[in-house]
Amino acid sequence: MYWSLSNLKTFRFSPGEIEAMEAELEKPDLGDDAALHFCFALGKAREDAGDYGRAFEYYQRGNTLRRAQENYDPVQTEVIGERIRAVFTREFLDQAGASGHDDLRPIFIVGMPRSGSTLIEQILASHAQVEATHELPEGGRLIRFIDRQRIGRAYYPEAVTHFAPGDFTMLGKRYDEETRRYRSGAPYFIDKMPNNFANLGLLSLILPNAHFINTMRDPMDTCLSCYKQLFARGQSFTYDLDDLGSYYLEYRRMMEHWHAVMPGRILDVQYENVVDDLESQVRRLLDYCALPWDEACLSFHNTKRAVRTASSEQVRQPIYRDAVGHWKRYGNSLKLLEEILAPVRA
């Protein structure tokens, strides 16, 4: 219960509730799963009280418990990234680009978790011609489908080098069919799965009319926000600061690659710019998606729809600056993360 309340983000614990949680946490018979939930709730509670030193201690304790439950290999993440970049060169994309399923206009929102993707989704979902879905798993399912086919006796990504032109069209139609259950017929729909950032080459080939929006935020704020979040599933790289920093660097390498081999296909949207000048950023978004102006996008917090991510309550509020530069309040606790992210913070 306590963690569920803390996960609302807007809830504040009373001093008595904090004391009760701390007492529960120290019980000798408390299991690891209950302990880590108390740790994340107490991290949020102490942060809200301005005690950032103790907040970090709780977050670190909770993340250590959760990391022990995860099977994550950062080296494997980098290896897969290198394989994808080796296959999806500009030459390969240009050669294969004449095929695909062009009946759909999905808007893919990608990036790191906790980078403002739900905010951008909410803004676009407020437009009369755009329908929001949720974090769709179809991108990953397509890759698993490719692996099952073993075309050219290869797995993804190398398998796509053995594709006939019709294979890309087939995959686009498959994506169309599998996402229909989430759609009601609007001209555009949103597929917001941040981790799809690694799949943009494949998605661009199977869905040539797709739009790709990469949500960005200060690297330190992004990674700290991930570290403070106990995700319901996935995101196994977020429970260790070293893993987190390395994963962020891999994400940036991947996005730099896509910009180089798919020039003009991706729109980067910086969270801080949206906060500073909402209207100009909304106009950028709509222009990129070839959508007419819709005033409702400026009052996105009034849009009624189900939001299932950790930012569900935050996007029901008008734009605010409280999260900008939040990492600085944690001081020396984040020195390791600062060192890892130094190459992308210049």
Domain ends where: 18, 52, 67? 67
Residue with tokens 């597929």: 191
Q: What is the mean pLDDT of residues 255-270?
A: 98
Indicate the pTM of the whole model.
Answer: 0.92
Q: What is the pLDDT of residue 306?
A: 53
Does 167 share its domain with 278? yes
List the domain range (segments joined by +) for residue 25.
2-67
Q: What is the pLDDT of residue 312?
A: 46
Give the CATH number of the domain where residue 42 resides: 1.25.40
* Res 232 pLDDT > 70: yes
Residue 261 pLDDT > 80, yes or no? yes
Mark whether 144 and 258 lie in a shared domain: yes
Residue 25: the pLDDT is 93
Domain count, the chain: 2
pLDDT of residue 322: 79
Each residue of 49-74: pLDDT tens digit? 999 999 999 999 999 999 999 999 99
The upper half-sphere exposure of residue 239, i.e. CA atoms within 13 Å in the direction of its Cβ, equals 23
Q: What is the mean pLDDT of residues 142-150?
A: 95
pLDDT (mean) for 65-90: 97
Average pLDDT over residues 7-17: 78
Q: How confident is the model at residue 2 (pLDDT cuts 50, 70, 90)?
A: low
Instruction: Pick 303 or 274 by higher pLDDT.
Output: 274
Buried/exposed code over 93-113 (b: 16+ C-beta within 10 A; e: otherwise): beebeebbbeebbbbbbbbbb
Tokens of 49: 């009280």
pLDDT of residue 302: 87
Same domain, yes or no: 8 and 91: no
Mapping DSSP to helix (H, G, I), strand (E, B) and coil, where does residue 192 land?
strand
